[in-house]
Each structure stands twice: as structure tokens, then as C-alpha cells.
Amino acid sequence: MAHDTAKPLRGQRAIVTGSGSGIGAEIANGLAAAGARVAVNYPGERAAADAVVAAIVAGGGEAIAVQADISRETEVERMFAEVVAAWGSLDILVNNAGIQRDAALVDMTAEQWDAVIDVNLRGQFLCSRAAAREFLRRGPDPGLSSALGKIVCISSVHDVIPWAGHANYAASKGGITMLMKTMAQELAAQRIRVNAISPGAIRTEINRSAWETPAAAAALRNLIPYGRIGDPTDIAKAAVWLVSDDADYVTGTTLYVDGGMLLYPGFREGG
């Protein structure tokens, strides 16, 4: 296929869940800059998603805002139908939406547990199933992409690092790893690639308390061998690569984009 290095995703259609802000918004921007049409999913308030769409359109890209609480099956199905109606099919799903509801284990309510598992894990299952069904319905289009379709699951370093006070979150992220790998194994024969990106500490609203004061930021940097807190663009660049044909032989893997957070920085001295 003709390879446009400036726009490697030209003509492709993507859904990025939870892309009204934070990492998702930057992934939406990155995919659009690489030539994809992007559906900016948001769960409730529309204004932020509209702003992401407006910025993409102002930059010469194409985007629409699509509402769905991804933990609800009927809303997910309706969102995918809307995107397919608008653009004919779908080539890329980025399962980005995620929430945190922090509590010590002994204080955690069943509702806090369920809320996080429902969005972070059930939501990724529901969206991935809908995407895979659409890829299979559409069939191959080698002019657009070597794979039939691509799914990226946004996980976290807490898919391997235990995290006190966040049992629901860590469990959901650990679950995403095996969901991703199982989907990759199951769908590889149909040329659907499924991978994960596990971000470390990225400067967004979800972890504002961890970086907003100088003392908190210094303590956080102490956990990051590379010495800086991550930026959403660090994740967006990895996502663009993973869904491009440059990563055509990559499936079932997790790319840790974490400035070395997984390198046990506590062991830089001693041990």
C-alpha cells in the first residue's frame, strides 16, 4: 500500500473513549494529526468533547463528539452504530476511558469497587467487542491498513505495581492486561491487533493531587527514574505508532510509557 509517512492513518476511522480531556484528548489529537477521523467519546458533559473536536477541525482534521457511558451496553452499541453511520466503518478503537475511586481497603464500599471495575474493565470489554464485530463485518481494506482493525487498551503501571488505597483501580488494570492478551490471541487469526499502553504518572486531572504542589511533585519524581512527570503527548505518540502499519507485527503486548517507574527506583541505593 502507498505509505504516507506524514499521515500514516489517512482515511482511517477511530473511536477514543473518554477523550474529552487528559490522555484521551491528546490521543484524539495525535490520531487526527496522523490523518484519522476521530470520534471523541464522552460520558456526560458535552462541552469538553466539543472543544477537542473544534481544535481538531481547526487544525484541518475531522472529528465528531459521541456520547456513551461505556459501562452501559446499550449506550456502547448506539455509539458504535452512530460512528458507522457517519463514516461507514471503524478501523481503530482506543479504550482510554478510566476512573479512580480511591479508598483504603477496609473503607471501600461495594459501590466504589463496582464503579471502577464497570468503567475500566467492563467498558473495555463492551467497546472491544463492538469494535471487533464491526471489523469482521466490514472485512479487509488493504488500501487503508494491513490489519483488519486495531485495538489499544490504555492500562497503567498499576497493572503490575500494587497500589495501596486503590485496590479497585489496580484490580481493574491487572484485568485489562489479561483481557488484552486474550483478545489478541483470539483475534490474531482474523488480523485484528490488540495491544496495551501502560502509562506511568502523566500530568492530568486524575492525579492532580500528586503533582500540584512542589512537595508532591518532588515525591512523585522520586518514583520516576527518568526524572520528569509524563505528558499526555508521551502516550499519544505511542498510541499513534501502535495503530499504524509500522507496528503491524506487534500484537498482544504492553508498552510501558512510564519514565522507568517500573524499574524499582526504591532500589537505586541499597537492597
On whether the CB atoms of residues 97 and 123 are closer than 8 A, the answer is yes
The reply to whether 206 sits near ligand BGC by the rule CB under 6 A is yes
Please say which residue, 70 or 201, places its beta carbon nearer to ligand BGC: 201
Q: How far apart are CA 75 and CA 34, in angstroms?
A: 28
For the bound state, the minimum distance from the C-beta of residue 124 to ligand BGC, rounded and expressed in Å, comes to 14
Which residue number, 19 or 244, has a Cβ lying nearer to ligand BGC?
A: 19
- The reply to whether 201 sits near ligand BGC by the rule CB under 6 A is yes
Beta-carbon contacts of 154 under 8 Å, excluding residues fewer than 6 positions away, are 23, 24, 94, 95, 96, 98, 196, 197, 198, 199, 235
- Binding residue for ligand BGC (CB under 6 A) from 200, 203, 239, 251? 200
Contact 17, 127 (CB under 8 A): yes
Is residue 256 among the annotated active site residues?
A: no
Among 207, 233, 253, 254, binds ligand BGC (CB under 6 A): 207
Report the alpha-carbon distance of residue 50 to residue 41 in Å, rounded.
10
DSSP state, residue 202: B
> Which CB atom, from 156 or from 244, has the smaller least distance to ligand BGC?
156
Tell me the C-alpha distance between 116 and 101, whole Å: 7
Residue 156 makes contact with ligand BGC by CB under 6 A: yes
Find the catalytic residue in 169, 226, 249, 256.
Answer: 169
Closest approach, Cβ 11 to ligand BGC, in A, equals 33
Give me the active site residues, please. 169
Which residues contribute to the site for ligand BGC (CB under 6 A)?
100, 156-158, 200-201, 206-207, 210
